[in-house]
Amino acid sequence: METLRKRRGTGRVTLADVAKSAGVGAMTVSRALRTPEQVSEKLRDKIQLVVEELGYIPNQAAGALASGKSDSIALILPSFADKVCSNFIPSFQEILNQAGYQLVIGYSNYSITQEEQLLSTLLANNPAAVVLFGSEHSAQTVKLLKNSQAAILELAEINELCIDLNVGIDHYQSSKEMTRHLIKQGFQKIAFVGARSEQSILRKQLRGWQAAMLENYLAPDHFLTSNDEPNIELGCEGVAKLLLQQPDLDALICSHEEIAMGALFECQRRVLQIPKDIALTCLDGSTFSEKCIPRLTSIEINYAKMAGKAARLLLQRLTGQDQNLLKQIDIGFKLCERASS
């Protein structure tokens, strides 16, 4: 009478149900699904049939608990507006999914405090790996990461002090190269407009621009930065303010394409010819730079390639094939010379 009082099962089909229905042991079913090669073909087929018939979906929580492993990879994204999102994540996720991992994405809005808080929530899932953007983290974040068993991957910029794995590009070099290109083209009064001024990426870009200017005996005096997200407004404002500071300005480097958009519109409004009156370039170009009028000289970063390299590096680490492997990969960049310079 007092039989099933204590049951609180979810009603879902369980591994045991499959086992009973197939007339085999539970372990055999478990193996048939995870390591099929360890099960005879006969049983494997029979089990597969029952699985489909019953619509069995494994309970990952139980699996994770029993094995102490998990197939989730935590990714903390600083911004959804970035190109990273549209170009990087799809490729990255695809490769990881194929290897059986699940991305769990959090959003930090470029705040290291939020990053830290998110991280401690995400670590409760016991993820196999944690993927972060940028190289700036709170001390507590670094401590949490080092205490966790998870593999750590830092993306977006090459960082000497990376915790574990690191895939990215050298923003100092890219900015320097862009500046050198402009100088080679004969431009001399080169200004810089950048967003997210508190991020180390922008600081590196600024230093790259300054270095290239100085090595050519030019003064890197005029620049405008904002700590906001890159936007069109900043580009408009940049052209306006910098032209006031330096009326004979002849070139402008924008850290982001959105800024370059704004700058382009502002130049149109002022009937400034590009590149005759002023050259316009950006450091993270994609389709807009390639298609607008005039087409903009820009640094292009292959985020899909970055995703591929990053995912594969991470997988090697997760499968323990990373003994004698580079832990840091520089993706490089391409300077696309176009009509705007």
Interface residues toward DNA, by CB under 7 A: 5-10, 12, 14-16, 24-28, 30-31, 33-34, 38-40, 42-43, 56, 58-59, 62-63, 65-69
- For the chain, the straight-line distance linking the first and the last C-alpha, in angstroms and rounded, comes to 86
Six-digit token string for 205: 């870009």
Six-digit token string for 99: 């290897």
Angstrom distance (rounded) from CA 141 to CA 119: 7
Residue 106 within binding range of a copy of itself, rule CB under 8 A: yes
Q: How many CB atoms lie within 10 A of CB 98?
A: 10
Residue 262 within binding range of a copy of itself, rule CB under 8 A: yes
Given DNA, a copy of itself, none, residue 6, with its beta carbon under 5 to 8 Å by kind, binds DNA
Secondary structure (3-state) at 302: coil
Task: Give whichever of 58 and 220 is closer to a copy of itself, judged by the CB atom.
Answer: 58
Three-class secondary structure assignment of 69-136? CCCEEEEEECCCCCHHHHHHHHHHHHHHHHCCCEEEEEECCCCHHHHHHHHHHHHCCCCCEEEEECCC
Binds a copy of itself by CB under 8 A, chosen from 265, 312, 316, 335: 265
Could you give the string, one character per residue 223-252, with x where binding to a copy of itself holds by CB under 8 A and - elsewhere?
A: --------xxx--x----------------
Given DNA, a copy of itself, none, residue 103, with its beta carbon under 5 to 8 Å by kind, binds a copy of itself
Residue 3 CB-half CA count within 13 A: 1
List the interface residues with a copy of itself, window 35-54 (CB under 8 A). none
Angstrom distance (rounded) from CA 299 to CA 341: 13
Angstrom distance (rounded) from CA 72 to CA 49: 28
Given a copy of itself, DNA, none, residue 146, with its beta carbon under 5 to 8 Å by kind, binds none
Binds a copy of itself by CB under 8 A, chosen from 43, 54, 99, 126: 126
Which of 301, 314, 331 minimizes the C-alpha distance to 153?
314
Given a copy of itself, DNA, none, residue 14, with its beta carbon under 5 to 8 Å by kind, binds DNA
Where does this chain bind a copy of itself (CB under 8 A)?
A: 8-12, 55, 57-62, 64-65, 68, 70, 72, 79-81, 85-87, 89-90, 93-94, 97, 102-107, 109, 118, 120-126, 147, 149, 231-233, 236, 258, 261-262, 265, 268-269, 287-288, 291-293
